[in-house]
Structure 1
């Protein structure tokens, strides 16, 4: 109960972000694409011969009053569901509730299906001066509780909407399950919850990292209008 309360507080905590000085006006539409590099060609025997998928991605654009999760923080129930099952229903419901109640969320988007090995998935987000951040994540599946993510990413710099940017994705351990193999049991009795819950951290920091610190994906952010 205590860890759930802590996770909820972290999910709605105010995190301090200082934007560069400048006058921002209007809003912009961005497309955010994740490319899945978890193919047998890239990883060989390190992963199953069929490769690994990203579960249906979900995300939101939001203000600095909202943080759905933070690296080194505890995973909320919404993030835990994505990390352990690949289902994003709790995350999407929370984000939509915050949007409709005007509590720091502007735009919510979710994919209809997984991102297969070697493929891409694109989500669209409106961003404005009061909601300049995006968060987007999905499960690496199958896995115990590993995710790919963009977290509190600012799309305004020097008071202007950025035209775009690209970068790499690595695997993160959400600290909710002790499993170390490429498994995600449907039977809850086979689950191995981490007690006490650990902080969200790059999987490369774990000596059991199955990806050997390699890049598991790419992200592409582009302003479309």
Structure 2
């Protein structure tokens, strides 16, 4: 899905800049041999709230990656990459993960409300 320091795919660009999910979901579906399941949520407009869902994992697919747009922003997001839900032979029952902001490298805006200014060529995602 994404990796810190990697170049954003069209799906990551759409998610980071506009909150779009369809292109990123299609990219995940195209990787079906590596991706067991996907999960998407609707927007939380008030800035705070909760969403609940479930995700299938198994012994061959114990890593989870997730992303969420930071809005408003040019192309910032939070997420984790390859978070392992299995500690050796034991499934993790509960965990808390601090999420850090990343710049997707697709828009050159410097402030939350910057106008759209495409980064050309795209840069690598950075913290």
TM-score by length of 2: 0.89
- SS of the residue aligned with 1:138? strand
Higher percent of residues as helix? 1
Deviation at 1:115, TM superposition (A): 6.0
For residues 126 and 115 of structure 1, the distance between their equivalents in structure 2, rounded to whole angstroms, comes to 27
Which of 57, 79, 83 is the aligned partner of 1:153? 83
2:37 is aligned with 1:107: yes
**Which consecutive residues of structure 2, in runs of 5 or more, have no partner in the other structure?**
none
Higher strand residue share: 1
Equivalent-residue separation in structure 1 for 2:54 and 2:126 (angstroms): 27
Counterparts of 2:73 and 2:5, CA distance in 1: 20
Could you tell me which residue of structure 1 aligns to residue 2 of structure 2?
69
- In the alignment, which residue of structure 1 is the partner of 2:46? 116
- In the alignment, which of 65, 69, 89 is matched to residue 22 of structure 2? 89
Deviation readout 1:86-135 (Å, 9 max, x if unpaired) = 11110112223433xxx111111111233632322333211101111111
Match of 1:64 in 2: none
Task: Tell me the C-alpha RMSD between the 2 structures.
Answer: 1.7
Contact 1:145 1:177 (8 Å CA) reproduced = yes
The runs of 5 or more residues in structure 1 that have no matched partner are 1-67, 185-189, 203-225
Residue 137 of structure 1 corresponds to which residue in structure 2?
67
Task: State the aligned residue count.
Answer: 127
Cα distance in 2 for partners of 1:123, 1:149 equals 17
> In the alignment, which residue of structure 2 is the partner of 1:196?
121
CA distance in 2, matches of 1:117, 1:79: 21
Q: Report the Cα distance in structure 2 between the residues aligned to 1:113 and 1:197, rounded to whole angstroms.
A: 26
Higher radius of gyration, 1 or 2: 1
Residues in 1 aligned to 2:101 and 2:53: alpha-carbon distance in whole angstroms: 20
Q: Residues of 1 paired with 2:52 and 2:100: CA distance?
A: 18
Rounded Cα–Cα distance in structure 1 between residues aligned with 2:126 and 2:50? 24
Offset, 1:191: 2.5
Match of 2:100 among 165, 170, 194: 170
